[in-house]
A and B are shown apart, each in its own frame.
Chain A
Amino acid sequence: ASLDNARHLSSLLRAVHFQDHATCVATASGLRVTVEDAKCIQANAFIQAEIFQEFSVQEESVMFRISLSVLLDCLTIFGTSSLPGTSTALRMCYRGYGYPLMLFLEEGGVVTVCKINTQEPDELLDFDFCSTKVVNKIILQSEGLREAFAELDMTSEVLQITMSPDKPYFRLSTFGNAGSAHLDYPRDSDLMEAFHCTQTQTNRYKISLLKPSTKALALSCKVSIRTDAQGFLSLQYMIRNEDGQICFVEYYCCPDENMSEAEL
Chain B
Amino acid sequence: MKCVIAGGNVKVLGRAVHSLSRIGDELYLEPTEGGLSLRAVNSSRSAFASFLFAPLFFQLYEPGSTGPDTELFRCKVHMKSFLGIFRSLPSLEKSVGKCLILLKPRASRLVLQLHCKYGVTKTHNLAFQECERLQAVFDTQRCASRLCAPARVLAEAVVHFPLTLAEVTLGTGPGGKIGLRNYVEEEAGESCRVRGLPPTLGCPSAPHPPRFPPPELSKTMVTELWLAEDEFQSVAMAPGSHITFCLKEFRGLLSFAEASNLPLTIHFDEPGRPVIFTLDDTVLEVHLVLATLSDLESNSQSPSTNGVSHLPAPSDDFPDDLESYMVAMETSEGGLEGPPSPTFPLRTPRPAESQPEEEEEEEEEGAVPGTPPHKKFRSLFFGSVMTPGRPGPATSQEVLAEDSDGES
Contact = CB atoms under 8 A, between A and B. Distances in A.
Interface of A: 144, 147-148, 151, 153, 177-186, 188-191, 263-264
Interface string B102-141: 0000010110000000111111111100000000000000
B107 to A, nearest CB: 7
B121 A184 contact: yes
A144 B78 CA distance: 28
Given A151-B87, A179-B81, A264 B125 contact: yes
Given A147-B91, A178-B78, A184 B126 contact: no
A182 B122 contact: yes
B128 to A, nearest CB: 9
A178 B123 contact: no
Interface residues of B, number: 21
Contact of A183 (B91, B110, B122): B122
B127 A190 contact: no
A218 to B, nearest CB: 15
A182 B123 contact: yes
State the 5 A-B residue pairs at the shortest beta-carbon distance, nearest first: A178-B81, A189-B119, A179-B126, A184-B121, A182-B123
Given A178-B81, A179-B124, A179-B126, A190 B118 contact: yes
Contacts of A185: 118-120
11 contacts: A151-B84, A179-B126, A181-B122, A181-B124, A182-B123, A182-B125, A183-B121, A184-B123, A185-B118, A185-B119, A186-B121
B80 interface: yes
Contacts of A144: 118, 120
A190 B116 CA distance: 12
Given A147-B91, A151-B87, A178-B81, A186 B119 contact: yes
A250 B119 CA distance: 26
Nearest to B111: A179
A178 B110 CA distance: 11
A181 B119 contact: no
Interface string B193-227: 00000000000000000000000000000000000
Given A183-B122, A190-B119, A264-B107, A153 B84 contact: yes
Contacts of B87: 151
Interface in B75-94: 78, 80-81, 84, 87-88, 91
Contacts of B88: 147, 151
Nearest to B81: A178
A183 B119 CA distance: 11
A182 B127 CA distance: 15
A170 B102 CA distance: 23
Given A147-B91, A151-B87, A153-B84, A179 B125 contact: yes
Given A147-B91, A151-B87, A178 B118 contact: no
A23 B372 CA distance: 57
Contacts of A191: 118-120
Contacts, number: 64
B108 to A, nearest CB: 10
A148 B118 CA distance: 13
Contacts of A186: 119-121
Contacts of B107: 264
A178 B120 contact: no
B127 to A, nearest CB: 5
Contacts of B126: 178-179
A183 B113 CA distance: 10
Contacts of A263: 125
A183 B95 CA distance: 14
A85 B24 CA distance: 50
Contacts of A181: 122-125
Contacts of A178: 78, 80-81, 84, 124, 126-127
Nearest to A263: B125
B36 to A, nearest CB: 19
A219 to B, nearest CB: 19
A259 to B, nearest CB: 20
A127 B95 CA distance: 37
Contacts of A184: 120-123
Nearest to A168: B121
A142 to B, nearest CB: 12
Nearest to A176: B81
A152 to B, nearest CB: 11
A189 B125 contact: no
A183 B110 CA distance: 16
B85 to A, nearest CB: 8
Interface string B65-80: 0000000000000101
Contacts of B122: 148, 181-184
Contacts of A179: 81, 109-110, 124-127
Given A144-B118, A178-B84, A178-B126, 9 more contacts: A144-B120, A147-B95, A178-B81, A179-B127, A184-B121, A184-B122, A185-B118, A264-B109, A264-B125
A163 B225 CA distance: 61
A148 B36 CA distance: 28
A182 B122 CA distance: 6
Contacts of B121: 182-184, 186
A167 B127 CA distance: 25
Interface in B217-275: none
Contacts of A182: 121-125
A189 B120 CA distance: 7
A9 B138 CA distance: 64
A177 B84 CA distance: 12
A148 B121 CA distance: 11
A27 B88 CA distance: 45
Contact of B118 (A177, A180, A189, A264): A189
Contacts of B80: 178
Contacts of B91: 147
Nearest to B108: A179
